[in-house]
Structure 1
Amino acid sequence: MKPPRTYSIEGIIASILFIVLIGVVLLQIFGRTPILRGPVWTEEAARWIWVWMAFIGIAEVERQDGQLKMAFLAEMLPEKFRLVLYTLIDLVFLGLVGHLIWIGYKTVLRTANNISVTLPTTDAVLYASALVGFVLILHRIIRRLLGRRDVSVTREPTL
């Protein structure tokens, strides 16, 4: 399996959100001093940006296959069994993420009419972060499963 590219859309978006988050938090900090009167929306915006950044960041970790795992037992297995084990784990994860996408979709619909306290939008924008993040994760799991299949089919025999 070839290593993941250095940059991805998930990583770029998460990085941009992090920079925006720093700006909003700095505005919030300086808004508590006599120098500047801070806008009231910064606290809520910081939370929303943080949530979006976290879900997009989780998708980036999934792209890199960098999640925490305790693989010492799996590493003792022969390569063929390890491939089957990791494929089964990914299939279970795929089902779980599919269910979370469904929950996220229903939540976005349910909150579409809830007006945010300080931001000029509905709460559905906040809850859409989970939906978008899980769709990106689903995409990465499917790509990993397809890549694993390609590796097992095209692997050259060892002598």
Structure 2
Amino acid sequence: MNQPRKYSIEGIVASAVFVILIGVVLIQVFGRTPLFRGPVWTEEAARWLWVWMAFIGIAEVERQDGQLKMAFLAELLPEAARRILYTLIDLAYLGIMCHLAWIGYNTVLRTWNNTTVTLPTSDALLYGSGFVAAILIIHRIIRRLIGRRDVTAKREPSL
């Protein structure tokens, strides 16, 4: 398969959220010293930023196809059988991620009117992270499946 591009929207967003998270945590740390009194919202904001960073980061790992794999048995298979096995795994993964996206969507709807403790927003914003990540992962699985089919079509000689 083709090497993924070096930078993607998932990686850029996860990195930007990480930088913001560092800033919020620094405010939190210095707010516990005699220098100044830290705002209350930093604890909740740090948790939210961490969740968003983690979920978008998972989507970036999926883009790079960098999940942990135990492929030693699959590598023993002939290439055609290995391709079929990985396609079946991706199809099962796609089904699971579609179900998780549905759960995430329903959770966002269910928490839309809940207000957070210290931030002026809805809890749905936090739970939206799982939904957004699931959609990004679904997109990457579909692209990988389509790319695998393209590679198969190019490699097999036509009669």
Q: Same fold (TM over 0.5)?
A: yes
Q: What's 1:101 paired with?
A: 101
Residues 34-53 of structure 1: per-residue CA shift (max 9 Å, x gap): 10110000000000000000
Q: Give every structure 1 segment of 4 or more consecutive aligned residues whose post-TM-superposition deviation is greater than 6 Å.
A: none
Deviation for aligned residue 1:107: 0.2
The aligned counterpart of 2:130 is: 130
Letter in 2 for 1:83: R
TM superposition shift of 1:22: 0.3
Aligned residues: 157
Distance 2:106 2:57 in 1: 22
Deviation at 1:10, TM superposition (A): 0.1
Alignment correspondent of 1:121: 121
How many angstroms apart in 1 are the aligned matches of 2:2 and 2:89?
20
In the alignment, structure 2 segments of 5+ residues that lack a partner are none
Aligned to 1:152: 152
Aligned to 2:50: 50
3-state DSSP of counterpart to 2:3 = coil
1:141 pairs with 2:107: no
CA distance in 1, matches of 2:156, 2:139: 28
Q: Which amino acid aligns with 1:8?
A: S
Tell me the TM-score normalized by structure 1: 0.97
The alpha carbon displacement at 1:155 in A equals 1.5
Matched letter for residue 72 of structure 1:
F
Counterparts of 2:78 and 2:37 in 1: how far apart (Å)? 64
Name the SS of the counterpart of 1:105 in structure 2: helix
Query: What is the root-mean-square deviation of aligned Cα atoms in Å?
Result: 0.7
Percent identity between matched residues is 74
CA offsets 1:63-93 (integer angstroms, 9 cap, x no match): 0000001000000000000000000000000
Shift of 1:156: 6.0
Runs of at least 5 residues in structure 1 that lack an aligned partner in the other structure: none
Residue 93 of structure 1 aligns with an amino acid whose one-letter code is: Y
After superposition, what is the alpha-carbon deviation per residue over 1:69-128, rounded to whole angstroms, capped at 9, x for unaligned?
A: 100000000000000000000000000000000000000000001000000001000000
| TM-score (normalised: structure 2) | 0.97
